[in-house]
Chains A and B, each alone.
Chain A
Amino acid sequence: MSDAARSDAAKRRRVTASVSSESPAAKWAIIAVAVGFLALFLLLPLVVVFMEALRKGWATYLEAFADPDAQAAIRLTLTVAAIAVPLNIVFGIAASWAIAKFEFQGKSLLITLIDLPFSVSPVVSGLVFVLLFGAQGLFGPWLAAHGVEVVFALPGIVLATVFVTFPFVARELIPLMQSQGTTEEEAALTLGASGLRAFLTVTLPNMRWALLYGVLLCNARAMGEFGAVAVVSGHIRGLTNTMPLHVEILYNEYNFVAAFAVASLLALLAIVTLAVKSFLEWRYGDALAGRTGH
């Protein structure tokens, strides 16, 4: 290496160093704070959940799931998610389609309304449904007269869950669909495709990864929702208790192992969701570009 080249390299090193003005000590301190915080507040609780659940061994752990009430809670949670998530896929696609592909009055109001479930406390959302469909509620007497139970039954739990999880799918799809525009659909129409065929072969494939991503988030929240569901469910054991509610009941009864065992299932769901989400981001980052994070 010649002298000139050496001094060039030295100059370049100085330039690189000057871009981040912090000293190495400050850099490591900042990283330590961030990692320490995450470990203390996110990782540790997760570990504790599993440790508590397994404290008395696998046999006791598995026993918690043999309880008919626990099985009923798991069944109910899966049922609610199985109804709420598909509903929100339909609503989410419809709403984002309307917002991204049409021009109409009141569009900004609709966008604000989509965000409403994020900004309202879930407890309030639950109360709204009690006020609407409860025995003393607006539609309550009429529904009761026709033998339809909403509050303290499956329909109420599904309604509350749909409300709380509504934004997840729509929020993922709107920015993507806005950036993609409508010309590919128009191209499909000029080539003779029907509206339905254009949707199935052009629109849906173009948004599939954002949709899947939204569905994952929506599902995680649907299974984990506590506040709104707690208000409308009525806590009837074996009937209207979802997994989060069941965890609370077990915990209040000092049945810690069982409580943490059921909780570990929910935690596992969170981990799986995160893993799939990270995999999608890594594998299909380009297709997901344009969405906003939460």
Chain B
Amino acid sequence: MDIKVERVSKEFGGAKALDDVSVDIRPGELLAMLGPSGSGKTTLLRVIAGLESAEQGRVLFGGEDAADRPVQRRGVGFVFQHYALFRHMTVADNIAYGLRSRRRAERPSSAEIVRRVGDLLDLVQLSGLGKRFPAQLSGGQRQRVALARALATEPRVLLLDEPFGALDAKVRKDLRRWLRDIHDQSGKTTIFVTHDQDEALELADRVAILNKGRIEQVGTPDEVYDDPATPFVMSFVGDASTLPVEVVEGHVRLGEVELPAILDPGRVGPGKLYIRPWHVTATKVEGAPPADRLVGTIRTVRRAGEVHRLDVKLQTIEAAIEADAGLADQFAAGDTVALTINKARLF
């Protein structure tokens, strides 16, 4: 099932939650909607589900306008951020709820429902826990019950709102991989909302990045990471330092120092240079610093995964820049270093 969101806008009390948003979701893909809190990502998910109505624009399910279909008949499976399990029902009754809500003619027999619930419990690896109540489960188990419940009605589309937001780091990692497996098995079009860039990049086929109710970029994880369309995407997906620069005669300059960046032809005047820490090499400087190099003083050295991340305060201007250094390199706070920028992006 492909979904088209066409020019959707929505306001909440004068504030624009969604501002002319368009996005195409391809059949069978796993799309992440990534953005900071308040960016409108959850609102967009709820508009697609039919839990909110758009003031302008429309949502198409397989080419058909969804406006005429209330939430009950959109064929969406929705997993809520805090799961919203029915607390007074057992796990099995929670999962069976959707099937039992069907009209008599379409409702499977009780035996069939029991069988389906059993299958789903197996799928989410909770066999034998059907008689428990939600309060007796761990966070990760509740999450899986919520997913089983959403899958029980065989929805056309699966929508997940911050599916791993309330879980601890280890459980979150396991569930990510597991969700990917389930998606690959079922082949269902799936959209999930997250504020966690790692989660989006690791899990999704494509990522839609939202900011202040607008879509900034839609692309594969590689595209948004390596070829960000806007300054916001550059700084939100992956780390980046910024430097105020001047474009003169086809070169990017910061004072006396020339910096690398791909330039649009004819571009002149001030700009902002975005630099990834791993595109910066630091070397120790003894004696007088060279005038044609970027020079600064290390403020802190932090461990960041497999590297040390240096926070360097520049000498010539009021700015700081982050650089990654190998664990073997002996840097300490207070050292003077010269920086070589290997790659950067100008906006």
Q: A residues touching B (Cβ–Cβ < 8 Å)?
A: 183-184, 186-194, 197, 201-202, 205-206
Proximity bits, B142-159, A CB within 8 Å = 1, else 0: 000000011011000000
Determine how close the nearest CB of chain B comes to the CB of A189; give it in whole angstroms: 5
Once bound together, how far apart are the Cα atoms of A186 and B102, in whole Å? 16
Residues in B neighbouring A190, C-beta threshold 8 A: 49, 51, 71-72, 76-78, 150
| A192→B102 contact, CB < 8 A | yes
Q: How many A-B residue pairs have CB under 8 A?
A: 58
| B153→A191 contact, CB < 8 A | yes
Determine how close the nearest CB of chain B comes to the CB of A289; give it in whole angstroms: 12
Determine how close the nearest CB of chain A comes to the CB of B140; give it in whole angstroms: 19
Which of B49, B72, B77, B78 has the most CB atoms of chain A within a 10 A radius of its CB?
A: B72
Query: B101's contact among A183, A186, A188, A205, by CB below 8 Å, is which?
Result: A188
Residues in B neighbouring A197, C-beta threshold 8 A: 101
| B101→A206 contact, CB < 8 A | no
| A187→B86 contact, CB < 8 A | yes
Is B87 among interface residues, defined by CB-CB distance under 8 A?
yes
Is B251 among interface residues, defined by CB-CB distance under 8 A?
no
Once bound together, how far apart are the Cα atoms of A206 and B134, in whole Å? 14
Query: A189's contact among B51, B77, B152, by CB below 8 Å, is which?
Result: B51
Proximity bits, B73-88, A CB within 8 Å = 1, else 0: 1001110101011111
Once bound together, how far apart are the Cα atoms of A206 and B85, in whole Å? 12
Is B98 among interface residues, defined by CB-CB distance under 8 A?
yes
Determine how close the nearest CB of chain B comes to the CB of A171; give it in whole angstroms: 22
Residues in B neighbouring A184, C-beta threshold 8 A: 84-87
Q: B residues touching A (Cβ–Cβ < 8 Å)?
A: 49, 51, 71-73, 76-78, 80, 82, 84-88, 97-98, 101-102, 149-150, 152-153
Determine how close the nearest CB of chain B comes to the CB of A190; give it in whole angstroms: 4
| B101→A191 contact, CB < 8 A | yes
**Closest residue of chain A to B12, judged by CB?**
A103
Which of B80, B85, B86, B152 has the most CB atoms of chain A within a 10 A radius of its CB?
A: B86
**Closest residue of chain A to B95, judged by CB?**
A191
Once bound together, how far apart are the Cα atoms of A189 and B87, in whole Å? 16
Which of A191, A197, A206 has the most CB atoms of chain B within a 10 A radius of its CB?
A: A191
Once bound together, how far apart are the Cα atoms of A178 and B149, in whole Å? 25
Once bound together, how far apart are the Cα atoms of A183 and B49, in whole Å? 13
Residues in A neighbouring B82, C-beta threshold 8 A: 183
Once bound together, how far apart are the Cα atoms of A184 and B78, in whole Å? 11
Residues in A neighbouring B51, C-beta threshold 8 A: 186, 189-190
| B101→A192 contact, CB < 8 A | yes
Given contacts A184-B86, A192-B98, A192-B102, 8 further A-B contacts (CB under 8 A): A184-B87, A190-B78, A191-B98, A191-B153, A192-B73, A201-B86, A201-B97, A202-B86
Once bound together, how far apart are the Cα atoms of A193 and B82, in whole Å? 20
Once bound together, how far apart are the Cα atoms of A212 and B49, in whole Å? 35
Q: List 25 A-B contacts (CB under 8 A).
A: A183-B82, A183-B84, A184-B84, A184-B85, A184-B86, A184-B87, A186-B71, A186-B78, A186-B84, A187-B85, A188-B86, A188-B101, A189-B72, A190-B71, A190-B77, A191-B97, A191-B98, A191-B150, A191-B153, A193-B97, A194-B72, A197-B101, A201-B86, A201-B97, A205-B88
Once bound together, how far apart are the Cα atoms of A132 and B101, in whole Å? 47
Once bound together, how far apart are the Cα atoms of A184 and B51, in whole Å? 13
User: Across chains A and B, which 5 residue pairs bring their CB atoms closest together, nearest first?
Assistant: A191-B98, A183-B84, A187-B84, A190-B78, A193-B101
Once bound together, how far apart are the Cα atoms of A206 and B149, in whole Å? 19
Which of A187, A193, A194 has the most CB atoms of chain B within a 10 A radius of its CB?
A: A187
| A187→B80 contact, CB < 8 A | yes
Residues in A neighbouring B88, C-beta threshold 8 A: 205-206
Once bound together, how far apart are the Cα atoms of A183 and B166, in whole Å? 16
Determine how close the nearest CB of chain A comes to the CB of B257; give it in whole angstroms: 54
| B80→A183 contact, CB < 8 A | yes
Residues in B neighbouring A201, C-beta threshold 8 A: 86, 97
**Closest residue of chain B to A202, judged by CB?**
B86
Once bound together, how far apart are the Cα atoms of A183 and B146, in whole Å? 12
Once bound together, how far apart are the Cα atoms of A147 and B255, in whole Å? 97
Determine how close the nearest CB of chain A comes to the CB of B136; give it in whole angstroms: 13
